[in-house]
Amino acid sequence: MPGSREVVRFGATERAFHWAFALPFLGLLLSGLPLSFPGLRPWISGYSLQVGLRLHLVCAVTWTVAPTLVVVLGDRRALATVASDLFVLAREEISWLRQLPRWLAGLPCEMRGVGRFNAGQKLNGIFVAISSVVLAITGVILWIIWQSPGLVWTGGPVGRTMIGWSRWLHYLLTVLMMVPLLGHITLATIHPRTKESLRGMLFGTVDATWAKEHHPGWHAEISRGPSGLGERGATEAPPSSVPTPSWER
């Protein structure tokens, strides 16, 4: 909005972690779908199973290493603050979920008390975090079997059961993760109530009026003054004042 003030929503480390996680994960999903569902392969021109497997592995390694590097080199206190905000769902926030259909339809909703993340964002974050751990564990098991199909322990009933469950869970979560991913992309790029948040994840700042309307609890908190929480961005500021990570200072 022309002439309006902006608030820092995400610091450089927080944004770096998001993209270091999201982009390799998107590569994992796109490379994993034809592996999980062979019927898709004829629709991909020149598809090679070996290339697809290795591309999936490269994305998996990147998905593990890149966020870890951000944690090691960046502002860990800022990331810890995001985690505490995102992964704690208070009982009173359930009332926001009851209004979700109205909120999606653009109808008036009671937003009082909504903090840095609303209940929908929190549930999505919790689901993605848990699913990611399960996908990583089952993926490692399936990769070991692919690399060494003759391992002795895989031939017994316990080994066969573990492989079967790993494959089933991996495929199931691949499909289930598509739902919040598509919803996340749609809300961040198209939905009028939330597309402002994409600017926050790209450039760090969001319109102060938008923040006050959709995250009033968080806006009230940062309006009280600096919180001293690293890159959390507790004061109103122009885009040029977005903090930089520790490795750029």
Give domain status of residue 2, yes or no.
no
| Structural domain includes residue 67 | yes
DSSP state for residue 119 in the 8-state scheme: H
Q: Looking at the domain assignment, is residue 203 inside a domain? A: yes
Residue 248 falls inside a structural domain: no
Looking at the domain assignment, is residue 247 inside a domain? no
Contacting residues for 210 by C-beta, under 8 A, at least 6 apart: 1, 196
The CATH number of the domain where 184 resides is what? 1.20.950.20
**What residues are paired with 8 via a beta bridge?**
205
Tell me whether residue 237 is in a domain: no
Q: Which residues pair with 207 in a beta bridge?
A: 6
Q: Which residues does residue 55 pair with via DSSP β-bridges, in sequence order?
A: none
Structure token digits, residue 89:
């769902």
pLDDT tens for each residue of 108-160: 777 767 889 988 899 999 999 999 999 999 999 888 877 766 664 555 666 77
Q: Say if 243 falls within a structural domain.
A: no
The predicted-structure confidence for 1-38, as pLDDT tens digits, reads as follows: 444 689 999 999 999 999 999 999 999 999 999 998 89
Residue range of the domain that includes 80: 9-230
Q: Which residue has the higher pLDDT, 185 or 105?
A: 185
User: Is 191 among the domain residues?
Assistant: yes
* CB atoms inside a 10 Å sphere around CB 74: 25
Query: How does DSSP assign 5-57, residue by residue?
Result: -EEE-S-HHHHHHHHHHHHHHHHHHHHHHHHH-GGGGGGSTT--HHHHHHHHH
What tens digit of pLDDT does each residue of 178-221 get? 998 999 999 888 888 888 889 999 999 999 999 998 888 898 88
Q: How far is CA 226 from the centre of its chain?
A: 26
